[in-house]
Amino acid sequence: MFIRKDDKISTSQAAIYLNNSILGAGILAFPRFGVQSVGTPDVWMSLLLSGMIAMMSVLIMVKLSQQFPGRTVFQYAKKIAGSPIGAVIGFIMVMYFMLIAGYELRVFAEVTLFYLLEGTPVWAIVIPFIWVATYLVHGGINSIARLYQIIIPASILILILSFGLSVRLFDINHLRPVLSEGVMPVLSGLKSMMLLFAGCEMTMVLVAHMDDPKQAAKAMVYGTSLPLILYLITIIVVIGGMSADSVMRSTWPTLDLLRSFETAGLLLERFEFPFIVIWMMQLFCNFCSFYYGASLGITQLFGAKLRPVILGITPLLYIIALMPKRINDLFGMGTFIGFTGVGLFLVLPILLSAVYIIRRKGLKQNVQ
Amino acid sequence: MFNRGIYAALLAAAVLMTQTGCWSSNEIEDLSLYAGLAIDKGMVPSVEKGMKEKGGAYDKKNLVTITTQVIPTKTGGSKGQQGGQQGQSGQTASNQYYNTSETGDSVIQIIRQFAIRRDRPFIGHHLKVIIVSHDILKSIGMEKLMDFVLRDNDIRPSCLVLLSEGKAKDTLDISQVPGDIPAFHLKGMIRNRYRTNKVLPKVTLTNLDGLINSKRSFVLQNVITEKGQIQFSGAGIIKGSDGKWIGNLNQEDVEAISWIKGNSRSGTLKYYANSSEPVIYEIKSVKSVITAKADGEDVSFHVRIESDGRMAENWKSGADPSKIAFQEEAKLRFEEDLRRKLDHLMNRLQKEYKAEVVGFGDKLKIQHPKLWKKMKHRWDEIFADVPVTFEIKLNISDFGSSLQ
Across the range B314-319, mean pLDDT stands at 86
Residue B27: other Cβ atoms inside 10 A: 7
Mutation target to probe the B interface, by most B beta carbons within 10 A, among A42, A170, A245 is: A245
Q: Are B372 and B364 in contact (CB under 8 A)?
A: yes
CA distances from B40 to B43, B135, B170, B285 (A): 8, 7, 10, 39
Which residue in A119, A177, A260 is closest to B366 by CB distance?
Answer: A177
Residue A208 in any domain: the answer is yes
> Residue B352 pLDDT more than 80?
yes
CB-CB neighbors (< 8 A) of B156 in chain A: 259-260, 262, 270
CB-CB neighbors (< 8 A) of A176 in chain B: 365-366
Contact B210 A180 (CB under 8 A): no
Q: Collapse the DSSP code of B397 into the 3-class scheme (helix H, G, I; strand E, B; otherwise coil) and give the result.
A: strand
Structural domain of residue A175, as residue ranges? 11-354
Q: Are A268 and A42 in contact (CB under 8 A)?
A: no
> Residue B102 pLDDT more than 80?
yes
Chain A and chain B share a number of CB contacts under 8 A equal to 69
Which residue in B22, B153, B209 is closest to A115 by CB distance?
Answer: B153
Which of the residue ranges A106-120, A215-229, B7-21, B346-360 would you say has the lowest mean pLDDT? B7-21
Contact A262 B156 (CB under 8 A): yes
pLDDT (tens digit per residue) in A303-321: 889 889 999 999 999 999 9
Q: Are A143 and A288 in contact (CB under 8 A)?
A: no
* A-proximal residues of B, 204-223, CB under 8 Å: 204-207, 209-211, 213-214
Confidence of residue A126 (pLDDT cuts 50, 70, 90): very high
CA distance A276 to A282: 10
pLDDT (tens digit per residue) in B128-174: 999 999 999 999 999 999 999 999 888 999 999 999 998 998 898 88
CB-CB neighbors (< 8 A) of A178 in chain B: none
Contact B213 A249 (CB under 8 A): yes
pLDDT at B1: 54
Q: Is B190 on the interface with A (CB under 8 A)?
A: no
Residue A360 in any domain: the answer is no
Q: Are A270 and B156 in contact (CB under 8 A)?
A: yes
Shortest distance between the Cα of A170 and any Cα of chain B, in A, equals 12
Averaged pLDDT of chain A: 89
Q: Which of A165-174, A284-293, B8-17 ranks highest by mean pLDDT?
A: A284-293
> Residue B237 pLDDT more than 70?
yes
* Minimum Cα–Cα distance from A247: chain B residue: B210
pLDDT at B91: 35
Q: Is A243 on the interface with B (CB under 8 A)?
A: yes
Q: Collapse the DSSP code of B84 into the 3-class scheme (helix H, G, I; strand E, B; otherwise coil) and give the result.
A: coil
The answer for residues whose C-beta is within 8 angstroms of residue A20's C-beta and 6 or more apart is A148, A151, A152, A282, A285, A286, A289
Q: Are A193 and A50 in contact (CB under 8 A)?
A: yes
Residue A3 in any domain: the answer is no
Residue A168: give its domain's CATH number: 1.20.1740.10
Contact A117 B366 (CB under 8 A): no
By DSSP bridging, strand B218-226 and strand B229-238 are antiparallel
Mutation target to probe the A interface, by most A beta carbons within 10 A, among B147, B158, B375 is: B158
> Residue B81 pLDDT more than 50?
no
Residue B42: other Cβ atoms inside 10 A: 18
pLDDT (tens digit per residue) in A5-32: 567 899 999 999 999 999 988 899 899 9
What total of structural domains would you count in chain A? 1
The answer for residues whose C-beta is within 8 angstroms of residue A335's C-beta and 6 or more apart is A195
CA distances from A320 to A118, A135, A204, A340 (A): 22, 20, 24, 16
Helix A184-194 and helix A43-66, axial crossing angle in degrees, nearest 10: 50
DSSP string, A271-319: SHHHHHHHHHHHHHHHHHHHHHHHHHHHHHHHT--HHHHHHHTHHHHHH
Pick the more confident residue, B302 or B20. Answer: B302
Q: Are A323 and A89 in contact (CB under 8 A)?
A: no
Q: Collapse the DSSP code of B285 into the 3-class scheme (helix H, G, I; strand E, B; otherwise coil) and give the result.
A: strand
CA distance B129 to A88: 58
pLDDT at B306: 94
Pick the more confident residue, A317 or B116. Answer: A317
Q: Is A249 on the interface with B (CB under 8 A)?
A: yes
By DSSP bridging, strand B277-295 and strand B268-273 are antiparallel
Q: Collapse the DSSP code of B365 into the 3-class scheme (helix H, G, I; strand E, B; otherwise coil) and give the result.
A: helix
Q: B89: phi > 0 → left, psi -120 to 50 → alpha, else beta; which?
A: beta
* A-proximal residues of B, 20-49, CB under 8 Å: 22-24
H/E run at residue A147: helix A140-165
pLDDT at B317: 86
Q: Is A205 on the interface with B (CB under 8 A)?
A: no
Confidence of residue B76 (pLDDT cuts 50, 70, 90): very low
pLDDT at B88: 34
DSSP string, B19-45: GG--TT---GGGSEEEEEEEEEE----
Four-point Cα dihedral A23, A24, A25, A30, nearest 10: -10
Mutation target to probe the B interface, by most B beta carbons within 10 A, among A135, A246, A272 is: A246
* Minimum Cα–Cα distance from A119: chain B residue: B24
Residue A363 in any domain: the answer is no
* Minimum Cα–Cα distance from B156: chain A residue: A259
Amino acid at B192: N
Instruction: Give the residue from B209, B219, B273 showing the smallest Cα distance to A241.
Output: B209
Residue A365 in any domain: the answer is no
Residue A320: other Cβ atoms inside 10 A: 20
Shortest distance between the Cα of B379 and any Cα of chain A, in A, equals 17
pLDDT at B43: 83
Shortest distance between the Cα of B141 and any Cα of chain A, in A, equals 17
* Minimum Cα–Cα distance from A256: chain B residue: B157
Residue A235 in any domain: the answer is yes
Which residue in A121, A124, A242 is closest to B210 by CB distance?
Answer: A242
pLDDT (tens digit per residue) in A41-67: 899 999 999 999 999 999 999 999 999
Q: Are B98 and B114 in contact (CB under 8 A)?
A: no
Q: Are B106 and B151 in contact (CB under 8 A)?
A: no
Averaged pLDDT of chain B: 86
Which residue in B156, B205, B365 is closest to A177 by CB distance?
Answer: B365
Burial of A274: CB neighbours in 10 Å, binned 0-12, 13-18, 19+: middle
Q: Collapse the DSSP code of A198 into the 3-class scheme (helix H, G, I; strand E, B; otherwise coil) and give the result.
A: coil
* B-proximal residues of A, 112-131, CB under 8 Å: 114-115, 117-121, 124
Across the range A267-285, mean pLDDT stands at 87
Residue B156: other Cβ atoms inside 10 A: 24
Whole-model pTM: value is 0.88
Q: Are B214 and B111 in contact (CB under 8 A)?
A: no
Q: Collapse the DSSP code of B233 into the 3-class scheme (helix H, G, I; strand E, B; otherwise coil) and give the result.
A: strand
Shortest distance between the Cα of A98 and any Cα of chain B, in A, equals 28
Residue A188 in any domain: the answer is yes
> Residue B178 pLDDT more than 80?
no
> Residue B287 pLDDT more than 90?
yes
Pick the more confident residue, A258 or B264. Answer: A258
Contact B369 A180 (CB under 8 A): yes
Burial of A101: CB neighbours in 10 Å, binned 0-12, 13-18, 19+: buried
CA distances from A362 to A80, A82, B84 (A): 14, 17, 91
pLDDT at A322: 93
CB-CB neighbors (< 8 A) of B23 in chain A: 117, 119-121, 124
Question: DSSP letter at B131?
Answer: E
By DSSP bridging, strand B129-133 and strand B160-164 are parallel
CA distance B329 to A331: 66
Would the ipTM clear 0.95, i.e. be above it?
no
Report how far Cα B397 is from the mean position of its chain's Cα atoms.
33
pLDDT (tens digit per residue) in B267-284: 999 999 888 899 999 999
> Residue B225 pLDDT more than 80?
yes
* Minimum Cα–Cα distance from B22: chain A residue: A117
* Minimum Cα–Cα distance from A115: chain B residue: B153
Residue A368 in any domain: the answer is no
